[in-house]
Amino acid sequence: MTAKKRRPNGASTIYQDKEGTWHGRVTVGTKDDGSPDRRHVRGQTQGVVIDKVRKLENLRDAGNVPKPGKPWTVKLWLTHWVEHISAPSVGVNTIAGYRVAVYHHLIPGLGAHRLDKLTPEHLERFYAKMEKNGSAPATAHQAHRTIRTALNVAVRRGHLARNPASLANAPRLNDDEDTEVEPYSVEEIGRILHIAEQQRNGARWAIALALGLRQGEALGLQWAHVDLDNGLMRVRRNRLRPKYRHGCAEVEPCGRKHAGYCPERVPIRPDTKGTKSRAGRRVIAIPDALLAILKQHKEEQDRERDKAAQLWHDGGWVFATEIGQPTNPRTDYTHWKRLLTTAGVRDGRLHDARHTAATVLLLLRVPGRVVMAIMGWSSAAMLRRYQHAIEPILKDAARQVDGLLWAPPDGDEEGPDKAN
């Protein structure tokens, strides 16, 4: 008599129970504890169960089997991703942006969807609804980038077979929002610096326009990073936007909604963090004219320290308040806007000062690798983003040279080719 062949371990099985219901069991992998992850399907007929078993085997072979347990919703996944995956590994400014996108836009608009049922069409309708309700295209675009990043992690961890945000059409940015390089002209720079010389902390704007430091880098500068004797500046830290909690006693709350306005507010975020990238940690040679401005700035700050006496907070900040505290980035932005108005130049972003510095360096034919080192760029692709900005300026200079050297003599409008 021939013995019954034993099925190999892990092979799928199909059987019928006493009540006539058909069952299938498929091994799709291994659980966290090391035991086999064996999934169960059922149906009223053998054919239905065979079809379910084959589909599950195909998902297993393609590496797309959903994780066991209760399915994720978009709300649950985004909350888990932003708080437990992203928060421990990204910077405070990055996580703050993620949280705004997740809690103010994505969860209210998409949170009830099952994660594995979310489609590109759901996302596209959501982006359109955001803009219809008054959100700026840039805000919708930020929401798109955030959920695309979150769902990429879900794909890598096996919770999704593919990322619907990568297939959806991203919200279109307006032309003015997509414009990156808007340098000021040499004449505009002169007017800005002339007004800055007359203002407190005016050296802040000389550094921005001459060396192109980012706002956080400039406000994070400490005198220990500036070598006035040798004319060198070391960029090491980034100033963070302050964040506070209420410090008022519970029995006598201040009544202010935002902790930043509480008279007894307590900071809960550090003043600075490390630079944005390794390329951001750099040493820059200070031009002589700027070095003189910084020396004068330090003398003025020393006088403020003497005047403030015991009220002075000795944090060593290059750009500090009247009592030595680090400058708030929001205040710095307000001062920039006022400076432009007083100087009578066109309105612009604070980042345009950085673009201006990069453009000036390129116009002066400073080698690309040197420009990258000064600006703290890690990719040569950044250089190419400025080509369209400097080419019109170079052509305008060529026209001026042409008009100067080959202008017709006074009274000779027809030039050298005038008929005899």
**Does residue 2 lie within any of the structural domains?**
no
The mean pLDDT value for 262-277 works out to: 79
5 to 2, 8, 280: CA distances (angstroms) = 9, 9, 67
Cα gap 320→340, rounded to integer Å: 21
Selected residue with higher pLDDT from 92 and 350: 350
**Does residue 329 lie within any of the structural domains?**
yes
One domain for residues 213 and 154 = no
One domain for residues 29 and 140 = no
Cα gap 79→194, rounded to integer Å: 50
Q: Which residue has the tokens 């509480």?
A: 262
**Does residue 251 lie within any of the structural domains?**
no
One domain for residues 197 and 146 = no
Helices 329-343, 186-196: axis angle to 10 degrees equals 110
**What is the reported pLDDT for 416?**
46
One domain for residues 116 and 159 = yes
Q: Tens digit of pLDDT for each residue in 17-76?
A: 999 999 999 998 887 778 888 899 999 999 999 999 999 888 888 777 776 667 899 999
CATH number of the CATH domain containing 152:
1.10.150.130
**What is the reported pLDDT for 397?**
62
Strands (DSSP E) found in 136-240: 226-227, 232-235, 237-239
**Does residue 402 lie within any of the structural domains?**
no
Selected residue with higher pLDDT from 345 and 402: 345
Residue 414 has pLDDT above 60, yes or no: no
3-state secondary structure 113-137: CEHHHCCHHHHHHHHHHHHHCCCCH
**What is the reported pLDDT for 418?**
47
126 to 122, 129, 130, 145, 168: CA distances (angstroms) = 6, 5, 6, 14, 11
**Does residue 123 lie within any of the structural domains?**
yes
pLDDT confidence tier of residue 166, bands split at 50, 70 and 90: very high
Cα gap 25→28, rounded to integer Å: 10
One domain for residues 123 and 56 = no
The mean pLDDT value for 260-281 works out to: 78
Contact 329, 219 (CB under 8 A): yes
pLDDT confidence tier of residue 368, bands split at 50, 70 and 90: confident
Residue 415 has pLDDT above 60, yes or no: no
Q: Tens digit of pLDDT for each residue in 175-216?
A: 554 455 678 888 888 899 999 999 999 999 999 998 989 999
Amino acid at 416: P
Q: Give the percent of the chain with pLDDT over 70.
A: 85
**Which of 177, 201, 224 is the C-terminal boundary of a domain?**
177
**Does residue 391 lie within any of the structural domains?**
yes
**Which of 157, 177, 197 is the C-terminal boundary of a domain?**
177
Which has the closest alpha carbon to 215: 329, 317, 377?
Answer: 329
**Does residue 146 lie within any of the structural domains?**
yes
Contact 325, 313 (CB under 8 A): yes
pLDDT confidence tier of residue 369, bands split at 50, 70 and 90: confident
**Does residue 207 lie within any of the structural domains?**
yes
Paired tokens of 49: 């169960």
pLDDT confidence tier of residue 131, bands split at 50, 70 and 90: very high
One domain for residues 227 and 304 = yes
One domain for residues 307 and 376 = yes
**What is the reported pLDDT for 4?**
45
One domain for residues 207 and 281 = yes
Burial letters 280-317, b for 16+ CB under 10 A, else e: bebebebeeebbebbeebeeebeeebeeeeeebeeeeb
Residue 217 class from Cβ within 10 Å (0-12 exposed, 13-18 middle, 19+ buried)? buried
Q: Give the percent of the chain with pLDDT over 90.
A: 49
Q: Tens digit of pLDDT for each residue in 298-354?
A: 999 999 999 999 999 999 999 999 999 999 999 999 999 999 999 999 998 888 888
Residue 258 class from Cβ within 10 Å (0-12 exposed, 13-18 middle, 19+ buried)? exposed
**What is the reported pLDDT for 79?**
96
**What is the reported pLDDT for 266?**
84
Cα gap 220→213, rounded to integer Å: 10
One domain for residues 288 and 391 = yes
One domain for residues 220 and 310 = yes
One domain for residues 296 and 370 = yes
One domain for residues 366 and 337 = yes
Q: What region, left, alpha or beta, does residue 169 occupy, with left being phi > 0 and alpha being psi -120 to 50 degrees?
A: beta
Number of domains into which the chain is organized: 3
Residue 307 lies in domain: 186-236+275-396
